[in-house]
Structure 1
Amino acid sequence: MEKLSCIIIDDEPLGKEVVESLVKDIPFLNLSASFNDPVHALTYLQENTVDILFSDIQMPKINGMELLNSLVNPPMVIFITAHRDFALDGFDAGVVDYLIKPVRFDRFLKAVNRAKERISMNTSPVIPQSNTDKIFVKSEGKLIKILLSEILYVEAQGDYLKIVIPSGDYSTQLTLKSMDEILSQPNFFRVQRSFILNLEAVRSINGNTVELTNGKSISIALNKKDELFALLGIK
């Protein structure tokens, strides 16, 4: 079996040693490097390719989320931290898993297997076309063509995205952040943490809830309401 390369970042020496020990107990992992300083790790990641990054979040100089967001082509990321507060932001950014210290081996192995599965499938699950009016989505082993104009909304659901069109919906492995970049067109808007909607599909707005043409109701994040109204031409 070909081994997966990984690195570890933790400013606490004991925390780093614990993760190093966990990695050594998994035969298909190869530890390429280990860092106490996240800045040195960032330099390494900019110059080298690795499959999996194990990282603490709360670190000096640059935290784990900032490091992840600064990478153009990030590896699979598993956060291992004593802090629960960043879990939602982590998953929103496409993190594979979020482990709370102290980490049990079985829980660590589950996260690593999830990363391994994603890597094995990682010939991009959504393929945008050069004319930007359609995408091909990998769903249930098939490539399915979806016109962007048909998309009513996109919803984050754990490790998957649900792309909804009038005739049905498709689940695919991709982060909402990546889909937001693909749908960087004036008629698409990220209305809250878990949803991107097609403005052409908006039927009505009631308070902080938008209703789409298929009857789906989606809550509007308070900090997004003014921008949504502006895009819809509502004064």
Structure 2
Amino acid sequence: MFNVTIRQVGIEEREEIIICCHEISDEVMSLANSIKGQKSFLLASKDGEMFKLDTKEIFYIESVDNKTFIYCKNNVYETKQKLYELEEILKGTKFFRCSKSMILNIGKIRSVSPSVNSRFEAKLANGETAIISRQYVPTLKKKLGM
């Protein structure tokens, strides 16, 4: 059992949510992620315009030739942020690093199958295929609950 305390703060104070727990369990992480998810978006550009992208719409993020691209169902956007920065921002969400140059949204995976050299192949909901490097396979299995 736990207590819930809500305290109203003045407009000059920063709003914050603090979770105090004995153990960081899956339930605690799920709660934290759902709280974070309310403002879950990334900024990216396309054709000179800036867009606010809901992370639920993102299939994967890839770094190519020192540029970072965000792939959605029908559009590709560019962001100034580096892959390691996005990985930190998306920590604790459905995103995980699947290779040196890609972060994948596990919620967009339709199926997963073993591939050559201990790698896995993920078929995405948009029909594309992503390769999960062998060093990231344990993370994939953990995220999928395997």
- The interval holding the TM-score normalised by the smaller chain is 0.5 to 0.7
For residue 152 of structure 1, what is the amino acid of its counterpart? F
**Aligned partner (choices 135, 138, 145) of residue 52 of structure 2:** 145
For residues 181 and 167 of structure 1, what CA distance do their matches in structure 2 show?
25
Q: What SS does the corresponding residue of 1:145 show, helix, strand or coil?
A: strand
Equivalents in 2 of 1:152, 1:180: separation in Å?
Answer: 14
Query: Number of paired residues?
Result: 106
1:233 maps to a residue whose letter is G
TM-score by length of 2: 0.65
On the 8 A contact 2:96/2:139 being kept in 1, the answer is no
TM-score, length-normalised on structure 1? 0.42
In 2, are the aligned partners of 1:159 and 1:173 still within 8 Å (CA)?
no
Identity, % of aligned pairs? 28
Matched, 1:174 2:81: yes
Does the 8 Å CA contact 2:98/2:132 hold for their aligned counterparts?
yes
Alignment partners' CA distance in 1, 2:55 and 2:145: 22
CA distance in 1, matches of 2:93, 2:41: 15
1:172 CA drift (Å): 2.8
Structure whose residues are more often helix by fraction: 1
CA distance in 2, matches of 1:166, 1:139: 14
Alpha-carbon separation, structure 2, partners of 1:135 and 1:227: 23
Match of 1:21 in 2: none
Contact between 1:137 and 1:143, CA under 8 Å: does it hold in 2? yes
| Alignment check: 8 A CA contact 1:159 1:174 kept | no
Per the TM alignment, residue 140 of structure 1 is displaced from its structure 2 partner at its CA by 3.0
Residues in 1 aligned to 2:56 and 2:135: alpha-carbon distance in whole angstroms: 26
Q: Could you tell me which runs of 5 or more consecutive residues in structure 1 were left unpaired when the two chains were aligned.
A: 1-129
1:28-51 CA distance string (max 9 Å, x none): xxxxxxxxxxxxxxxxxxxxxxxx
Provide the residue aligned with 1:220 in structure 2.
132
Contact conserved, 1:209 with 1:218, CA < 8 A, in 2? Answer: yes
* SS of residue in 2 equivalent to 1:189: strand
Identify the residue that residue 121 of structure 2 maps to in structure 1. Answer: 209
Q: Report matched runs for 1:1-235 at 5 Å.
A: 132-207=39-114, 208-234=120-146
Deviation at 1:139, TM superposition (A): 3.4
Say which SS state the counterpart of residue 152 (structure 1) adopts: strand
Q: Which runs of 5+ in 2 are unaligned?
A: 1-36, 115-119
CA distance in 1, matches of 2:125, 2:86: 21
How far apart are 1:170 and its partner, in Å? 0.9
